[in-house]
Structure formats: structure tokens, C-alpha cells
Amino acid sequence: MTTSLPPRMVADALWLLTARSRGGNHWVSNANAHIHSVDIAGNSYPVSLLDHSDWKESYVSSPRSTWLRYARSEALRHLSPAMAHLVKAGSCLIFGPLSALMHASKLDQAAIIANYLISTNLYPEWQADDIAQMTSVMCGRHSDSPLMIRNMCPEVSPSVMENLCAQGWKMMPSRMIYLCDPAKKHVWKHNHVKQDARLLNDGEVEIVTQTQLNLSDLADLRAVFRQLFIDKHSHLNPDFSPAFFELCLETNFLELIGLRWQGRWVGVLGLYIHPESGWLTTPLIGYDTSLPQELGLYRRLMAILLKEGKNRGCRLHYSSGASRFKRARGGIPALEYTAIYVEHLPNRQKQCANLFINAFQQFAPGMLKRADKL
């Protein structure tokens, strides 16, 4: 008797097989990581490693971009040239020592486990024995590299976090995210949710599902994704390659949904559905930023996300950013962490890593919570 693998496992396996032979930048143009693998609970997961990273390296592959480059660029993005010059000078006092600690600890050359080079990785409920075995194997393979697992949140993966901490992993605050359960009736009582639903149903913009898309559509969909994600927001966001869009269309690695208006592609959404955990998120979103705001393209895309979460019985991981927008649509803030293991490292390297982690544990939660209220 033959059995077929679930679609999620097929898509993940193809992603990993190709990335191991061609590198991370086959799927994400600005993620120049080597991709290895490790088995956890009988399944293979990617392990990303960088030799070095420059100012273009995406935060999904580079811890330096995650914690130093992205934070600095966000602080400077909306400032006048004169104020930006002052902030750049002042930021050296903060980022200089942190950069030195990162270099000495080799945190930017960490082995990042189960990293699919997307903004939000979702995980199954790994048991304590699975984590202990994985930790032991990874320490043997990477004796001079810190170990990392991104996107740990107590509201999303409570038992995994608990089991990691029991094995000596440390949790370093990384970003504020927003979570939503579309099954809760109060979510649908928000005025903005009601307004977005009416907008979505006005018939002005066509919603095109994955099965209706063709290979010939992908270049235009990638272009509107890049307008928002890369050109408007940050070059440090993952720049998904043409090959990645083809992977999504062929395997549903991300389920693509397009918006078409007056015959042209104006929006795209990529749903990442993780059946084991029951969560849904969208690592890929974009729209034509040249069009009038009154068309409400971002509102339409987020309304689709909320609707799909309800229809599929999934909880929504709204990821980070746009705090007021997401709060007004049922998003509840939660701190997300990066799990880091350094106990196997040489003493000086471990001490530098611990100083870096301790600094973030002390100051990052307050800074992230204040930023959430802006």
C-alpha cells in the first residue's frame, strides 16, 4: 500500500532539497546563506549558516541585520537629513559595542535551525527528548557556532519554549508581534473589520485564488510585492526570487492570492499555513503603492487574511509592524524571542554572547513595548 506525504511536507522538502544544493539565495535573493539540515522528531529541517554578511543581507538570514542594521535603518527612515546625521553619530555609542560583541561571539555566523528564510517560521510541538537530541547533534556539528531558533513566542509555541529553556537555551527578545483568533466573536465587532469586509465585497477589485494563477502572472505579482516589501519598507526584508514564486505556485509552499484591478495586478498575498500548529501567517504581502490610498489595497489584503483564518479554523499570526492597524483588527500584542544556545562555545566567545543576550533581555522588552504604543 502506498501513502502520500501531506502537501506541507512535500513543499518543505522541495524547498530544503533545492536550498541545500543551490544555497539560500535561490529562494531569497538577499539571503546568501549555506543551507544544511538536521533531523528533529523524524523530520528534516533546514539549518542556515552565513560566512559573513554585508549591509544588503536580509534579516531572515543575518542576526546582525535583525538586531543592528534593521533597528538602525528604521530609526533613520523618517528623519530629516540633519536629524539623521545626529542620530547616526549617537547610534555609534549604542551599536558600536553591540557590534563588537556580535563579532566576538560569532552570533552572525550562528547555525539557525528550522529557518525557511521567511519572516515567521512556525513549529510543531517538539518534545523535550527531540530538543535534547537535536541540541546534542548540533553542538557536535557546530562547536564554534552559536545555535539559534527564530520566532519563539509563549502564546504560539509554549511547550517548545519551555523545553528549550530546560535544555539551557536562552530567550532573547526580538520583536513585537500581533496575534488574533478569528473564531472569537469580538474580533468581528471591530468597526475597522466591518468596514474592511464591506470594502472587500464591493466588487471593484477582483480576488484571484491560487488555482486561477498562471506562471505568466508571477513576474507582475513579484513586482507589486517588491514595491511594498523592498522599495517602500526595507531592503533588509526577504527579497523572494522568481524561483520562489514558482515554488509557491507549484507546491503551495505559500498559497498565493492576487488582486486584479482594471486588468492589472495590484496586490499579492502569500499564506503560510501550518496544520500541525493550527496557525496561519503571511510572510509575503505587497501592493501597487502608486495607486490612490482610497482603493484600500492593504485593507483588502488583510481582510482576506482574516477571512481565510476563520474559514480554515486557524489562528492568525499577524507578524510585526503596523501596530495600530493590526490592533484595530483584533491583533493582540505579544513579545517574540529568538532562542539561542551557547553553552558549547569556547569561554571567551560564550561570555561575549551572554553579554549581548543580557543587554537585549534587559532593554529590548521596554523599547519594543514603547514602540508598540506609538
Q: What is the pLDDT of residue 82?
A: 54
Nearest to residue 259, comparing CAs of 292, 219, 304, 229? 304
Do the strands 279-287 and 332-341 form a parallel or antiparallel pair, or are they unpaired? unpaired
C-alpha span between 218 and 124 (Å, rounded): 30
pTM above 0.85, yes or no: yes
Q: What is the pLDDT of residue 74?
A: 62
The Cα angle at residue 314 between residues 369 and 218, in degrees rounded to 5: 90
pLDDT at 372 over 80: no
Where does the pLDDT of residue 90 fall: very low under 50, low under 70, confident under 90, or very high at 90 and above? low
Please tell me the least confidently modeled range out of 58-62, 90-94, 150-154: 90-94
Convert the pLDDT of each residue in 321-347 to its tens digit. 889 999 999 999 999 999 999 999 999
Q: Which three cell numbers stand for residue 213?
A: 494563477
What integer is the mean pLDDT of 91-100? Answer: 76
Q: What is the pLDDT of residue 270?
A: 98
Domains of the chain: 7-174+337-372 (no CATH), 179-332 (3.40.630.30)
Q: What is the pLDDT of residue 88?
A: 52
Helix (H, G, I), strand (E, B) or coil at 37: strand
Radius of gyration over every alpha carbon of the chain, rounded to an integer in angstroms: 21
Q: Give the residue, 3 or 319, on which the prediction is more confident.
A: 319
C-alpha span between 301 and 286 (Å, rounded): 9
What integer is the mean pLDDT of 46-59? Answer: 95
pLDDT at 202 over 80: yes
pLDDT at 77 over 60: no
Convert the pLDDT of each residue in 120-131 to its tens digit. 999 999 999 999
Convert the pLDDT of each residue in 266-286 to its tens digit. 999 999 999 889 999 999 999
Convert the pLDDT of each residue in 238-255 to its tens digit. 999 999 999 999 999 999
Cα end-to-end distance, the chain, whole Å: 58
* Residue 43: Cβ within 10 Å count: 15
Average model confidence (pLDDT) across the chain: 92
C-alpha span between 8 and 6 (Å, rounded): 6
Nearest to residue 170, comparing CAs of 336, 46, 337? 337
